[in-house]
Chain A
Amino acid sequence: MTFDSLHADTDCDCLGEAFEVKNKLFARKIGKPISRISDFYSHWERNKKPNVLDCDNTCMYKGLSCNEWNNESKGQVLAKYVNLINSQEKTGALSDAILIFKIKNGGGLMKYSPSKKDISHHTFFKSDNFEMDYLEIIEVINLDEYIKT
């Protein structure tokens, strides 16, 4: 697995403590239709740059925000997404979903990056070969349906 694109414009080593994931599920907010590559663009790829350009910020902006999805984290992760869509306009919210996925071999590496409010948070670093096919889609949770229940 190579990460030349990730490190092309920085001297930071973003992959310290990153690991290859096997048999774990992750969650990430996506739009509809599903499997759009734009849902897996990093802030850096979208040309959003951090105010402070240190290695911590640079690497977080180059990675993708995800949450580990398991029985312990599920409630906290869903609460986070419900708060998100409740703050947004209805049309935007209705198009939002959570993708539950596994990463196939060669797709990239994951780093555990928790915060006080978001203890299951991880940062996903895509490999040079990453395409949507490297994600094994387990489930798509429609948040509008979830909120009505």
Chain B
Amino acid sequence: MNTLKHNTTLDIVTNYTSLFDFDFWDILFVGKNQSDEWIIGSLARDDKEKNVLHHYYLIISEQNLKDYLELKISYRDLYPLAKSIFKTIRDINENIITEKKLLYQNLKDENMPRQNSFCPESDEQEELLKYITESEMFLAHH
């Protein structure tokens, strides 16, 4: 587990999509960072006692994201497939307090989502899937 200063790897700069929101929080979200990598992030825990938010971020391939959006694999299935995994602790206004890079092998099962954590079906999920599919078709023909 390596402690990092906040860098821009986790900043979503394009294609930001909230897949599920709850009580004004984006619980599950996707987008691309400045290196054009797909990131899926989640608000994993809202610690009301300490008034901080625990987020996980997975940098994943487009194919893995597509499989997730098509409900072929779950959010939990993305963890071992991820290129990198990060965890942040943020204050209530989402300013980063700490940021750590995690190794999948060192993660406890209880700190990951359930096995059946499939993508919530929504207009946003369908639109993102359509965007990815059309992008692939465009690239295949050019």
Chain A residues with CB under 8 Å of chain B are: 31, 36, 38-39, 41, 43, 46-50, 60-61, 65, 80, 83-94, 117, 147
Are B113 and A88 in contact (CB-based, < 8 A)? yes
CB of A90 within 8 A of CB of B120, answer no
Instruction: Quote the shortest CB–CB distance from A90 to chain B (angstroms).
Output: 5
Bound-state Cα–Cα, A92 to B28, Å? 15
| A129 vs chain B, min Cβ distance (A) | 22
Contact residues of A: prevailing secondary structure:
helix
The 0/1 profile, CB within 8 Å of A marked 1, for residues 122-140 of chain B is: 1000000000000000000
> Which residue on chain B has the smallest CB distance to residue A41?
B48
Contacts of A94 in B (CB 8 A): 110
Does residue B44 face the partner (Cβ distance < 8 Å to A)? yes
Residues of A within 8 A of B117 (CB): 86-87
B20:A84 contact, CB within 8 angstroms: yes
For the side of the interface on B, what is the size category?
Answer: 20 to 34
Task: Give how many A-B residue pairs fall within 8 Å (CB-CB).
Answer: 81
A90 and B92 contacting across the interface, CB-CB below 8 Å: no
Contact, CB under 8 Å: A92 / B44 = yes
The complex places the Cα of A94 from the Cα of B108 at a distance, in Å, of 15
Q: How far does the Cβ of A30 sit from chain B's closest Cβ, in whole Å?
A: 10
The residues of B with any CB-CB pair to A shorter than 8 Å are 20, 22-24, 27-28, 42-46, 48-49, 51, 54, 56, 75, 92-93, 109-114, 116-118, 120, 122
A83-B114 contact in complex given A43-B24, A46-B92, A89-B44, C-beta closer than 8 Å: no
CB closest chain-B residue, reference A66: B23
Q: How far is the CB of B60 from chain A (nearest CB, A)?
A: 15
CB distance from B137 to the nearest CB of A (A): 30
Subset of 19 A-B contacts with CB under 8 Å: A38-B49, A43-B92, A46-B48, A47-B92, A49-B93, A83-B27, A84-B22, A84-B27, A85-B114, A86-B114, A86-B117, A86-B118, A86-B120, A87-B27, A88-B27, A89-B110, A89-B111, A89-B113, A92-B46
